[in-house]
A and B are shown apart, each in its own frame.
Chain A
């Protein structure tokens, strides 16, 4: 397990790829976007990018808005 910040909250997660984390969280990979340490992680590489201790992760999606 490693410590990261996920959507502003500290969290212990299994080491592995971002795609594995998104799936473990039960989120549909096709409907979210991920930013790691202020850089966009292209969806095509989510399965390749490995999480590192201290990573700042933002996982976002579309919600209602004007």
Chain B
């Protein structure tokens, strides 16, 4: 069972949980939550340095990029051009070509703009990037992204930061069944059972930020998510029982006194 690993763009990981590094009280809590989650990949954002306070602590001082894979994202980008520009900088800052692409359509829902997302995926793939792509939970869009060069498909379970859980299990399952690249639910997880559901649907992994960062005890929730992802994965591999419309007794009927 320990040999259950997954591979994205030729890189192999044991943990199927990817965690974000936003919204934490401080870097120390963030680092403790990452450790408790067992995550081997964290998402990070690319932003201007504070030139007026260069001594301000940096994320890299708390979460070592030599030990944890940094997955630069394009959160906050609303056009393909902005996202590509951000990732070119990210590649220069970190030297990594494995990136998370998200091109947002509007601030209210943070739903992805799929036309721009598809265009950005094509360009990034041509430039040698390995884009893991945040997208709508649409099996056709997922196929198109894969054809365009996405190395992983990352459909939303519910809007970013909403914690509403997986709203459409059917579309997530259809995406999993149709994909040749890893599928990870990205966004919408609120609590441990949501993560387990994603894994039971056959996803290769789950990406979350707010569900851990905004829990009252983020470190404990990080551990809960680790266990939920493992439990959901095992349940998927074990193959769940069929459902019945009516009861079926677990104790033998024969020999009843």
A residues near B, CB below 8 A? 6-9, 25-28, 31-35, 38, 40-43, 58-66
Q: How many residues on chain B are close to A (CB under 8 Å)?
A: 38
CB of B191 closer than 8 Å to a CB of A: no
A31 and B93 form a contact (CB under 8 A): yes
In the complex, given contacts A7-B48, A62-B94, A63-B59, what are 6 additional A-B residue pairs having Cβ atoms less than 8 angstroms apart? A43-B92, A60-B49, A61-B46, A62-B72, A64-B30, A66-B208
Residues in B whose Cβ lies below 8 Å from that of A58: 48, 89
What's the nearest-Cβ distance from chain A to residue B185, in Å? 13
Please indicate the chain A residues that have their CB under 8 angstroms from the CB of B15 in the complex. Answer: none
Which residues of B, 77-116, contact A by the 8 Å Cβ criterion? 85, 88-94
**CB atoms of B48 and A66 under 8 A apart:** no
**Chain B interface main SS type:** mixed
A40 and B46 CA atoms in complex are apart in Å by: 14
B60 within 8 A of A: yes
Residue of B nearest to A39 (CB): B88
Given contacts A31-B93, A60-B93, A65 and B85 within 8 Å (CB-CB): no
Q: Using CB atoms and an 8 Å cutoff, list the residues of chain B in contact with chain A.
A: 20-24, 27, 30, 43-49, 51, 54-55, 58-60, 65, 70, 72-73, 75, 85, 88-94, 160-161, 208-210
Smallest beta-carbon distance A8→chain B, Å: 7
* Cα A59 to Cα B45 with chains together (Å): 14
Determine whether the beta carbon of B22 is less than 8 Å from that of A60.
Answer: no
Q: Is the CB of A64 within 8 A of B85?
A: no
Q: Which of B30, B60, B85 contacts A38 (CB 8 A)?
A: B85
Is A40 within 8 A of B58, CB to CB? no
Can you give 18 A-B contacts (C-beta < 8 A)? A6-B51, A7-B51, A43-B92, A60-B46, A61-B47, A61-B58, A61-B60, A61-B93, A62-B44, A62-B58, A63-B44, A63-B47, A64-B24, A64-B27, A65-B209, A66-B45, A66-B73, A66-B208
